[in-house]
Structure 1
C-alpha cells in the first residue's frame, strides 16, 4: 500500500479537535434545552446506542467557523473526505463518508429532511453560515437510525438549531482571509421574556473570490426563531434561508491545465467577433431557498411526550450560461436566412430554472420508562418541482419570444414512512435496540427535460428497513456493541435521465464496536461490513452541470475498521487521532470496452480511498487559549469503477493550524473571541476530487470501435488563512 509507513505515523500523530465531543451525550443546563433535544430524538441515538456516531457541540463548531461550509467543518471526523469546487471551502462543497456519495447521505434539520427530495443531494451553499445557528450536530456512520426522510447508505447528518436561551444576548462576528474572503454575522436573543417567550435571530453575509479563477461566492442568509416554553411544553417557529450567487466552477480542468495553471476556470469562456478569448461575467448559479418550520413538543407526564412538526420549503433560482454557436435544434428554433445565407446556429445566453415547493409533516410519541425507551410515529412529505429553460438573449433569435421556455418539465414526489424504535435495558449489562421503518415512495415526472426529450417517470417503491442491535456494558469503562441494519434507497432524477431502467439500491450493514473510557481518555474502535445489491455507485462521469453520475454496480461491499481516540498527554496537551482502513469492491464488475463486454473481476469502487486518517495535536497552555495542529491524510483513489490509470487521484496529506483565544473584559462585552485558521499550512498542491469519462468511437476505420478516455480535476488551494473576532454581549 502506497506510503504505508507515513500512514502509520499519521494514524498515531494526526485528528480533529472537534472529535473531542464524539460519542458523548449533549448535556443541557435548562428545561428549555431539554425540550429542544426532543425535536431531534426521532433521528438521534444516545452514547450507549449500538450505532456508530460522532457528536459536535456548538463550542467545537465555533472554533473553526470562519465562513467555510458545514462539510468542511466536518472534515476531521472519522471516514470523511471533503472537497470544494472553488478550492477554499466557500461555495459549492461536497462530502463523502466511507466513500459514499452525498446522494446516499441523509440530512435532517430539527428532524425535518433537508436533502433535496428529487436530486437527493444536499446543497449547504443555499444556507450560508448555517453553522452559526447550530446547537449541536450528530453524524451517524452506516445506515444509522434515520427514521425521517430517505434511507442513509453512508451516513446521516442530523442537525439541531439554536436552543432556547434564558438570558438575553447579542453577538457580532467578522472574519477575513485569503482570496478576499469575508464573513459578517450578527446574532441576538431576547432571552425568556415573562419566563415563557423568546425571539432570536441571525443575519449573515459571506463572500469570497475563490481560489479558482472567477469562482466567486456571495451568500446572504438569515435565521429567526420564536419560542414559547413552560415546564411541559415547547412551541417553536423557525424560519431560515439564504440566497447564493456563485460563479460556476464545476467543469474542473484537464491534466495539461493542471500542470500549466491550476487556477484556470473554463466556465464562461467564448470567442468574440474579433477572435479574442473572453469570459462571460455572469456565468453564475443564482438560487434562493426559504424554510419555515413549526414544532410543538408536549410533555404529558414524566414518561410520555409527543412532538409534531410542520415544514414548508420554497426554492427557486437558475444558473446562467453563455453558449457559443449553439444549434437552433437545441432550442426548437427554426433556421433563418440572413443576407442570403442559411443560419442555424447562434451565440446566446440561457437560464435553466428550478422552482419547487416542499411540505413535511412529522409526528411522534415517546414513552420512557425505567427499563425502556420507545418512540414511534410517521413522516409525510410532498415535493413539487418545475424544471424549465429560457433563452434571455440570442444573436439570432429566430421565432422565439421573450420568456419562451425551450423546455418545461415537472417532478412530483410523495414520501410516507412509519416507524417505531425502542431501547430495552435488560439489566445493568445488556441493552437491546430495535428500529423498524416502513417507507412508501412515489415519484412522477412529466414534460420535456433539458435535452428536449420527453421525460416520463412513474415509479412506486415500498421499502421495509429493520435495524437491530445490542450493547454489552462490561464495566464503567468498556462497552461492546453489535448492530445489523437493512436499508433501501430510490434512484434520483439524474439516475432516471441517464438510465430509465435504473434500480433502487439495497444495503445490509453490520457494525461491531468497542468503546473505552478512562477518565479523560477515550478510545473507540468500530468494524463494519456493508454488503450492497445494486449499489448506486459514482461512475466518475459528470453531466452538463457538473453533477457526478451514478449507475447500479450489481453486488458490492465496503469492509472497514475505524479507530478514534482522545489521549490526554498532559493537562495542557491532548492528542486526538482517528484512522479508517477499508476495502471497497465491486464484485465481478463488467464494462463495455472497444465495443465488447469485458469482465474485470473485483474492482475498487470509485471515490473510495482505502486509508483516511486525521490527528490533532491540541495545546491549551493557559485559560482561554487553544492551539490545534491538525493533519489529514487521504489515500489514493480511483474516479472510476474500472481502475483506469487516468482516473486515479493521488494521495495527499494536508495540515491546518487553528488558534482560538477568548477572554472576558471588565465592561461592555461578556466575552471576546479571536480565531485564526491557516489551511494547508505546508502549501501542498493537491486534488481532492475530479471526474473520469470514456466513450466508444469509430473515428479511425469504419467498423472499428476504439475507447477514448479523459479526466478532469478540481485542485484545492495552497496555503491560505482566515482570521476572525467575535464580540458577545
Structure 2
C-alpha cells in the first residue's frame, strides 16, 4: 500500500471514528460488554449495580450502559450462571468484561471436546458470534463471510460471492478443512470437497461459526490439515416470533426468507423453528447465474438432565458455471473480463437429518451423541461435440479423435460398417449429464468423565457411505443415431463407490497446577473403500478395494500467567486417504487404476493471548511438514476436470496476529493478518511457492455505534501476490478491497445495506497458467463495485 492509499484509508476509514466518539460521548455514562470467559459468547440479563445505587442489566448482545453520578465508582456484576465480579470503573468505557462460569456442587460447565475455549484449549481459533454474522451476512455463501478471519482466504467462481465458492485456511483448500454442520461431517466422502452452494442462507439460522486453524480439536469427520469449520444453527427462542426478510442487489441478486420460532412450550421444555429461503443471482461473470432454495426445521427438547435437538436442513441449487478463466490480455478490460459462454449446468439437492443429544448423567459423567443421515442427488450437464472434415488441415487426425470420441461414450458399436474411407466429413453433438446419487449415515457417541483436576472424553464415529455414479447422453444431432437409440437417455457408464469409516478417540485434559493445563489426544481411524465399475461398453469393469489404518496422536499445553495472559503449544499428526479420482477416474474408459498414497502432516504450533483493558492481542506461529501432498491443476484439455499429481514433501509455515480494540461502547477496531510460506520442499520445484496461495493476508474492520439502533462498519482486505504455476512463471497481482455497510433497527424493522469494493478496483481471485509455444495465463475475475440492501420485519408476541 503506497502513501496515497494509506492517506485515503485513514481519512475515510479511521478519522470519522474520532468524530463519532466526540459527538456522541456523554459524561458519566459507563458502558461495557459482558462475555463468557469459557465460550466468548455474550452474557445477557446480567445485573449491573453501582455502589451509588444506579443499576441496569445487559442486553442480548451483552452490552450495557448505566449512568453514574461520579467517577471512579465501584461496579458489581451478578448473574445466576456466573461468578459475581466487582471492580472500580475509572473511565466511562470499560470494554469487554469476561465472566467466569459458576461451578455449582462440583459441576463444571460442559463444553464438548471438539469445541475450543479461550484460555483452556491450546488451539488457534476464532468464533463468529451471532451478532458478527448478522453484521457481515447478506446473501453470500459461507466462505465469503469467513474471509475476514485470520489466515482465511475465500473466493467464488461467479465473482460476487454467490454460487460455487471456496475457502482456504493457512493455504490449504477446503478439501483439507474438516467442515461440520451442527457437528455433522460435511466433506464429500469421495473427493473430500465441500459444496457450499448446497447450503444457501444457512447463516440466517447460525448461532455461531467456529474456525479452528491447524489440526485443532478435530477428533472425527474428515481430517483437518489446514483447519476446521463448524456451523451451529439455533432452534430455541424465549418468545414466539415470525420474520420476513427481503433483499435485492447488483447483478439481479435477490433473497427472500421466512422464519418462524414457536417460543418456549410445555413448561419451557419444547421449542420449534422453521425457515424457507430463496436466493437468486446472475453473478458478476456472464453465464454464472444461480438459484438456491433451502429450508430448515428444528425441534429442541430440554429435560431435567438431557437435551435433544432434531434438525432437518434441505438445500437445492441450480447453477450455471464455467471453468475457463479470462485471458490475461482481457482481465483488465471492464467488459471483456465478465465474458463467458454456456458451459455447465449444476443441479443438486441435499438433505441433512441430525439429532444432537446431551445427557448429564451425574456430576461426573456426561454423554453426548450425534446421529445423522445425509442424502444427495444431482447432476452436472454440458453439451459435447466432435467431428472431422478431411478437406481441412489435420482432417485425418480429427477423424481419429472422432473415433476415440465415439469409444469414450460407447457409441462406436452404432457405427459398425461406417464407410470411414469414403465419408469426407462427419459431426456429432449431444447433451451429457453426469449423475451422482449418494447417501451416508453415522453415529458419534462420546462419554465424558470430569474430576476436579482432569477430564476424559472417550468416543468414536461409525460412518457408512454409498455413491451411485452414472452418465447419460441425449438429444443427438445425428438423426440416424437418434433413431437407433430408443431410450430418452443413453447410459454410457456406471460405477458405485462405497466407504466405511470407523474412528475411535480419547481426549484427556489434566491440570497439574492451577495455571497449567495439559492436553493429550489419540485418534485411530480405519477407512475401508471399494469401487465397483459396471462393465458397460468398453469399460473394463474394475473391482477395487483398499484399506487404510491411521493412528494420530496430539499433545498440547496451555499456561495462564494471569487472567490477561496465557501461552500455549501443541503438536499434532493427521493423515488422510486419497480421493477416489486420485486412484481412478471410473467414468473414463481410457483410465486405469494407479497407486495413490495417503497424505500425512506434522503440525507444530505456538501461540498466546494478552488482554489489557480494552485491547486484546493474539499471536500464533505454526509449521506444518506435509508428506505426499496430492495436488491438482485444471485440465485444459478436458473442461470441468482436474489433472492430479503429488509432491513428496511440502512446507507450510507462518505467523498470525490479531488485535481487537474497543476504547468505548461507540466503536471497535479489529485488525488481523498472516504472513506465511508455502513451498515445495523436494523435487524439481524445490523452494518454489505452491500456486494459488497468497502468502500475505491483512484484514481490518471498524464498527461504529452512534446509537443502539444504528451500526456503521467498514472492512478492508489486502490479499498478497499469488503464483499461477509450479515454476512461478505467472502471477496473480496483490489487491486491496474496501467494503462498507450500515444496519438500522427500529422496533420490529431492520434495514441492512452493504457496499462491496467501494473503490471499484479491478482484481482477480484465482488463476492458472501453462506453457505451449509461449506462456498463457487465465484468471477468475472478482466483482467491481456492487451492493445489496435488505429489510426484515419481525412479528413478536
TM-score (norm 2): 0.80
For the 8 Å contact 2:515–2:561, the answer to whether it is kept is yes
Q: 2:762 aligns with which of 685, 691, 698?
A: 685
Give the Å deviation of 1:453. 5.0
Match of 1:424 in 2: 510
Q: Match for residue 367 of structure 1?
A: 449
- What's the offset of the Cα at 1:157? 0.3
Distance in structure 2 (CA, Å) of the matches to 1:6 and 1:482 = 38
Give the aligned partner of residue 210 of structure 1.
Answer: 283
* Counterparts in 2 of 1:23 and 1:137: CA distance versus 1, 3 Å: farther
Task: Give yes or no for contact 2:130–2:207 (8 Å, CA) kept in 1.
Answer: yes
Question: Which aligned pairs between 1:78-97 and structure 2 lie closer than 5 A?
Answer: 78-97=150-169
Task: Confirm or deny that 1:578 pairs with 2:672.
Answer: yes
2:705 corresponds to = 620
Shift in Å, 1:630: 0.9
Query: Residues 354 and 387 of structure 1 are in contact (CA less than 8 Å); yes or no, is this contact kept in structure 2?
Result: yes
Q: Secondary structure at the match of 1:515?
A: strand
Relative to structure 2, which stretch is displaced further, 196-205 or 570-579? 570-579
**Equivalent residues of 1:14, 1:613 under 8 A apart:** no
TM-score between the two structures when normalised by the length of structure 1: 0.87
The structure number with the bigger radius of gyration is 2
SS of equivalent residue, structure 2 residue 122 = coil
Q: Does 1:662 align with 2:745?
A: yes
Change (3 A) 1:324 1:11: farther
- Tell me the CA shift for residue 474 of structure 1: 0.8
SS in 2 for 1:603: coil
Aligned match for 1:504, one of 598, 615, 629: 598
| Conserved? CA contact 1:380–1:416, under 8 Å | yes
1:330 and 2:408 are equivalent in the alignment: yes
Aligned to 1:489: 576
CA 132–501 in structure 1, closer or farther in 2 if over 3 Å, else same: same
| Deviation (angstroms), 1:382 | 0.9
Residue among 185, 202, 206 paired with 1:113: 185
Q: Does 1:534 align with 2:600?
A: no
SS at match of 2:373: strand
Counterpart contact for 2:235–2:271, Cα < 8 Å: no
Contact 1:39/1:307 (8 A) holds in 2? no
Encode CA deviations 1:476-507: one digit per residue, 9 max, x unaligned. 11000000011111111232237722221111
Residue equivalent to 1:724: 790
**Counterpart for residue 781 of structure 2:** 715
Query: 1:339-350 residue pairs with structure 2 within 5 A?
Result: 341=423, 345-350=427-432
Following superposition of structure 1 onto structure 2, how do residues 157-236 of structure 1 map, counting pairs within 5 Å?
157-195=229-267, 196-236=269-309
User: In the aligned structure 1, how far is the partner of 2:571 from the partner of 2:337?
Assistant: 45
Distance 1:375 1:118, change over 3 A: same
Report the counterpart of residue 354 of structure 2 in structure 1.
Answer: 293
Q: Which one scores higher on RCO, CA 8 angstroms, separation ≥ 6?
A: 1
Cα 1:448/1:680, change in 2 over 3 Å = farther
**Residues 287 and 342 of structure 2 are in contact (CA less than 8 Å); yes or no, is this contact kept in structure 1?**
no
Tell me how far apart the structure 1 counterparts of residues 632 and 379 of structure 2 sit (CA, whole Å). Answer: 25
Q: In the superposition, relative to structure 1, how do residues 5 and 476 fare at CA in structure 2: closer, same or farther (>3 Å)?
A: farther
Q: CA deviation at 1:372?
A: 1.9
Deviates more, 1:680-689 or 1:159-168: 159-168
Quick one: structure 1 residues 153 and 425, their matched pair in 2 at CA, closer, same or farther if it must change by over 3 Å? same
- Structure-1 separation of matches of 2:696 and 2:426: 53
Question: 2:373 — aligned with what?
Answer: 312
Deviation at 1:141, TM superposition (A): 0.4
Q: Is the 8 A contact 1:107 1:115 kept in 2?
A: yes
Q: Can you give the 5+ residue segments of structure 1 that lack an aligned partner in the other structure?
A: 270-282, 591-599, 665-670, 696-706
Contact 2:235 2:261 in 1 (8 A): no
Looking at structure 2, the residues matched to 446 and 563 of structure 1 have their Cα atoms a distance apart, in angstroms, of 48
Once the two structures are TM-superposed, the CA of residue 634 in structure 1 deviates from its matched residue by 0.7
Asked if residue 25 in structure 1 is aligned to residue 40 in structure 2, the reply is yes
Q: Distance in 2 between matches of 1:89 and 1:138?
A: 20
1: CA distance, partners of 2:516 / 2:236: 35
Which residue of structure 1 aligns with residue 733 of structure 2? 650
Equivalenced residues, count: 681
Question: Is the 1:86–1:249 contact (alpha carbons within 8 Å) kept by the matching residues of 2?
Answer: no
2:690 is aligned with 1:602: no
More moved, 225-234 vs 182-191: 225-234
Q: Is the 8 A contact 1:505 1:536 kept in 2?
A: yes
Instruction: Report how far residue 589 of structure 1 moved.
Output: 2.7
Secondary structure in structure 1 of the residue aligned to 2:581: helix
State the partner residue of 2:547.
460
Question: Given the alignment of the two structures, is residue 142 of structure 1 paired with residue 142 of structure 2, yes or no?
Answer: no
In structure 1, the residue matched to 2:527 is 441
Q: Where does residue 610 of structure 2 map in the other structure?
A: 516
Counterpart Cα distance in 1 of 2:154 and 2:497: 30
Listed one character per residue, the Cα deviations across residues 143-181 of structure 1 (whole Å, up to 9, x for unaligned) are 111112121110100121114223222211111100010
Mapped to 1, the partners of 2:37 and 2:756 lie a distance apart of 23
Aligned equivalents of 1:521, 1:325: Cα separation in 2: 64
Distance 2:184 2:11 in 1: 38
Change in 2 beyond 3 A, CA 1:96/1:659: same
Evaluate the alpha carbon distance shift between residue 419 and residue 621 of structure 1 in structure 2; reply closer, same or farther with a 3 A threshold.
same
CA distance in 2, matches of 1:443, 1:11: 56
Map of 1:667 onto structure 2? none
Would the alpha carbon gap of residues 423 and 561 (structure 1) be closer, same or farther in structure 2, given more than 3 Å must change?
same
Q: Secondary structure at the match of 1:211?
A: coil
CA contact (8 A) 1:54 1:138 kept: yes
Moved more, 538-547 or 99-108: 538-547
Distance (Å, rounded) in 1 between the aligned partners of 2:636 and 2:672 = 32
SS in 2 for 1:73: helix
Any idea what the Cα deviations from partners look like across 1:124-145, whole Å, max 9, x if unmatched?
1011101112111110001111
1:305-332 superposed Cα distances (whole Å, 9 cap, x missing partner) = 1122211111001111122336322311
Equivalent pair of 2:36/2:42 in contact (CA under 8 Å): no
Structure 1 residues 655 and 356 mapped into 2: Cα distance closer, same or farther (>3 Å)?
same
Tell me the alpha carbon deviations over residues 163-205 of structure 1, each in whole angstroms, 9 at most, x when there is no partner: 4223222211111100010111111111121122221110000
1:414 is displaced (CA, Å) by: 1.0
In the other structure, the counterpart of 2:396 is: none
* 1: CA distance, partners of 2:537 / 2:521: 42
Aligned residue for 1:277?
A: none
C-alpha contact 1:534 1:552 (8 A) present in aligned 2 = yes
CA distance in 2 between counterparts of 1:46 and 1:369 reads: 18
Kindly provide the CA deviation profile for residues 627-651 of structure 1, in whole angstroms up to 9, marking residues without a partner as x: 11111111101132221x23x2111
Contact map agreement 1:42 1:111 (CA 8 A) in 2: no
CA-atom RMSD in angstroms = 3.2
* Change in CA separation of 1:27 and 1:106 when aligned onto 2, cut-off 3 Å: same
* Number of the residue aligned with 2:345: 284
Cα–Cα, structure 1 residues 245 and 62, in superposed 2: closer, same or farther, change >3 Å?
A: same
Confirm whether residue 153 of structure 1 aligns to residue 225 of structure 2.
yes
Q: Can you list the C-alpha shifts for 1:357-411, whole angstroms capped at 9, x where unaligned?
A: 1111111112223222222101011110011111121112364342321111111
